[in-house]
Chains A and B, each alone.
Chain A
Amino acid sequence: MSQAKAGGNAAFVEFSHVQKSYDGVSLVVKDLNLSIGKGEFLTMLGPSGSGKTTCLMMLAGFETATHGEIRLGGREINNIPPHKRGIGMVFQNYALFPHMTVGENLSFPLEVRGMDKAERETKVKRALDMVQMGNFINRRPAQLSGGQQQRIALARALVFDPELVLMDEPLGALDKQLREHMQFEIKGLHDRLGITVVYVTHDQGEALTMSDRVAVFNDGVIQQLDSPDELYERPKNSFVAQFIGENNKLPGTVEELDGHKCLVRLANGELIDATPVNVREKGQQTLVSIRPERVEFKPEMMPKGAHTIRAEVKDVIYMGDILRARLKVAGSDNFVMKMRNTISQTKLAPGETISIGWHPQDARALDPV
């Protein structure tokens, strides 16, 4: 990760003022500027239609940029056809050639590069061993399970030693358990091989687990580009706050603004502490966002002088590792609080009234939606 961050000044992949339109009427990608360092694992995260896949396809060479420049290793690649870019790619449904065996699939990129047979065999074997699929060389893709196909697709994208590998929602078709397992495996391969990975997903959990940095896309614009912890704990706007993880939103008006702290008055007149992010002056409308696990209801856990507000417990859901309480706060009853499921944890009953509060830095006053 340190390498990745250092790579910021010597960009390996660079989008510069890239725009893309399919119909000449609307822009799918609006003025994209993004540099990806060598060896970095960057995830493009966003809802469908946000432009993330389009960006990936432009990088792979399957779509042309309407405007702007895309550079790979300092070289402009706008007009280089996909087969000359030397980028490995893992597709959403693997796209393993059904009429070829696993071995032939892996051998394909080496054959088209004119590599001789002995060298091909060595490389194919090495790539298969890398994903623990050495025994499957003579199988057809149809004879493999989803997870196995995924590994082969990965091996095929890596077999010709590309420096950059693109992954387009590669784990979307797998079940939850296998998906989590493959996340670690892909991450492990990335660390071991030192390759640069650009990963597209709409699954925020996946993005947070695997990436060095995450670019959150919405409406053709990168909303925030940060490391997973920054993104989760310090979202820069309401979209990011809502898209990543669960979030409580409290609309209100800025009452006091003082550098790194502000007071927000909620609709029912109660006051809460928050950190100003997207607010500039008193009297402005804002949306305060607080993570459910950062909400406290025990006075001793709250900082001195913090404002507390009243909340009524609607129900408590037992989720195993945590307890999820739904509270009625400031007139709205979908305020969520998560509590660790420890032996000494206080059991809340529906209908109970409690006081809740938080560290001011955990409540972020963002732009109103």
Chain B
Amino acid sequence: MTDQTAPPGLGAESLTTADGRPLKAALHRAQARAKRRAFLLVLPLLAFVLLTFVIPIGIMLFRSLNNPDFVSYSDIDSGTEIPVMQNVQAWFAANPQGTEPDEAAYAALAADLVHLKEIKAQGSVGTRINYVLPGSRSLFTSSARDAAKLAPPYKEAVLALDEKWADPAVWQAMRSSAGTITGDFYILAADFERDDSGAIVRTAEKERIYLYLFWRTFFLSGLITLICLVLAFPIAHLLATLPLSKSNLLMILVLLPFWTSLLVRTTSWIVLLQQQGVVNDALVALGLIGTDGRLTMINNQTGTIVAMTHVLLPFMILPLYSVMRTIKPSYVRAARSLGATSWTAFRRVYLPQTLPGMGAGVLLVFILAVGYYITPALVGGADGQLISNMIAFHMSKANWSLAAAIATMLLFSVLILYWLYDRLIGIDNLKLG
């Protein structure tokens, strides 16, 4: 076709519509209305997610880095923010880290303590220091009580009130808290602390709890995920291959736990597994164990594993089932007819095809397990606690910053695992239903 005969709009370079407008612009215009309408449809959901998810997580991230309790005191009665400990902060600003507190430092401290007493902020400030240096809250509250009596020379006067003020750790704790933005809570959450000179060092071995709890949380979650996978695979296969009438009944049995309260399910595990419980009684009755050899299966890790596996099992079965249902029996038959034993046919033909379902189930169960709280709290005892129980503990103690720091670390470690999963298996391989 020559150029003369080519109708407008068929030029190779820029396509135009019949009336000469660029095709891309015309297409954009034609679709703009539909796009706007689609956006309006999702707008409420977007606002909801923003309000209930994005903003709270942002606040949590902020909280983990921001704690101004040593810098200002929010007076609930008047609703104002009153600056506190300003004199000590000024001294910190004037003297570099490692300077021995001199008379001027103690004078500043005395003035600040008096101010704290006036506005009744000694508790809040003491608590803030207590986070970084346990046991220092009472130092502030008791010293502030008698601060009015302090007279120069301040160093002796303050030390007479409480010997602990001479401890460089106290001064270090105050110095590291003298700002609104601090990484201290991450340092704590990773089982580190600042030594007297302000350097970051590992905490004493017996006080390290968080990293171990993280490790335990991931280990137990991994174990629970594995047990769920092993248990769910045959059930899902059965569900996918049984005739519809039978598989429906089985599906109801699988879903039944979903319709029961989590508390009821967990409590029934207590009934079953406790020392005088059904399982132990049965074992004793069968003569497998003696009365004095009753197994401890609840209020420890075993309890957490058993109860959480039970609770999370449907989340593994459902994605597996939805994938297995689409795998036609002719694949395995084809493999068999081609000379594969049933094991080879399963391993090389069936199993790889269930991978999207396994991936979805594993990811779902693992991520749910990592953040699980109620079940370990009820049946976990001391060694069955997970990191979320620690988060809840700090929240109950109003240590929001540390709770937020641990939660943020948990969030990012899950994100890293998610990223790893994407790199290794590929997220588009996921199939949830």
Contact = CB atoms under 8 A, between A and B. Distances in A.
Interface of A: 60-62, 81-89, 91-93, 95-99, 108-109, 112-113, 156-157, 160, 166
B333 A93 contact: no
A113 B339 contact: yes
Interface in B322-355: 328, 330-331, 333-342, 344-345, 348-349, 352-353, 355
Nearest to A96: B334
A89 B337 contact: yes
A108 B338 contact: yes
B333 A83 contact: no
A99 B355 CA distance: 10
Mostly helix, strand, loop or mixed at chain A's interface?
loop
A11 to B, nearest CB: 22
A97 B337 contact: no
B333 A156 contact: no
Given A97-B349, A98-B353, A99-B353, A83 B340 contact: yes
A311 B163 CA distance: 128
A112 B355 CA distance: 22
Given A97-B349, A99-B352, A99-B353, A112 B330 contact: no
Contacts of B330: 91-93, 95
B339 A95 contact: no
A112 B333 contact: no
B342 to A, nearest CB: 8
Contacts of B336: 61-62, 81-83
Contact of A108 (B333, B348, B355): B348
Given A98-B353, A99-B352, A108-B348, A83 B334 contact: no
A112 B331 contact: no
Contact of B337 (A87, A92, A113): A87
B331 A82 contact: no
Which residue among B333, B336, B337, B341 has the maximum number of chain A CB atoms within 10 Å of its CB? B337
Nearest to A97: B349
Contacts of B331: 95, 97
A83 B349 contact: no
Given A91-B330, A99-B353, A108 B340 contact: yes
A95 B340 contact: no
A112 B339 contact: yes
A205 to B, nearest CB: 25
A82 B352 contact: no
Contacts of A91: 330, 333-334
B431 to A, nearest CB: 13
Contacts of B348: 108
B341 A83 contact: yes
B334 A89 contact: yes
A109 B333 contact: no
Contact of B338 (A92, A93, A99, A156): A156
Given A84-B339, A95-B331, 20 more contacts: A61-B336, A81-B336, A81-B342, A83-B336, A83-B337, A83-B338, A83-B339, A88-B337, A89-B337, A89-B338, A91-B334, A93-B330, A95-B330, A95-B333, A95-B334, A97-B331, A108-B348, A109-B340, A160-B339, A166-B337
Nearest to B353: A99
A179 to B, nearest CB: 20
Contacts of A89: 333-334, 337-338
A60 B337 contact: yes
A205 B328 CA distance: 28
A82 B344 contact: no
A112 B338 contact: yes
B337 A108 contact: no
A108 B335 contact: yes
Contacts of A157: 337-338
Nearest to A99: B352
Contact of A112 (B328, B334, B344): B344
A99 B429 CA distance: 12
A22 to B, nearest CB: 12
Contacts of B341: 81, 83, 112
Interface string B407-422: 0000000000000000
Contacts of A61: 336-337
A89 B332 CA distance: 12
A95 B336 CA distance: 12
B341 to A, nearest CB: 6
A164 to B, nearest CB: 11
Nearest to B334: A95
Contacts of A82: 333, 336-337
A99 B335 CA distance: 13
Given A93-B328, A99-B353, A86 B339 contact: yes
Interface string B355-373: 1000000000000000000
A109 B353 contact: no
A109 B349 CA distance: 12
B353 A112 contact: no
B324 to A, nearest CB: 14
B337 A112 contact: no
Interface in B144-198: none
Which residue among A61, A81, A89, A96 has the maximum number of chain B CB atoms within 10 Å of its CB? A89
A68 B123 CA distance: 92
Contacts of A60: 333, 337
A62 B335 CA distance: 12
Contacts of A92: 330
Nearest to B333: A62
Contacts of B328: 93, 95
B330 to A, nearest CB: 4
Contacts of A93: 328, 330
A245 B219 CA distance: 69
A88 B333 CA distance: 11
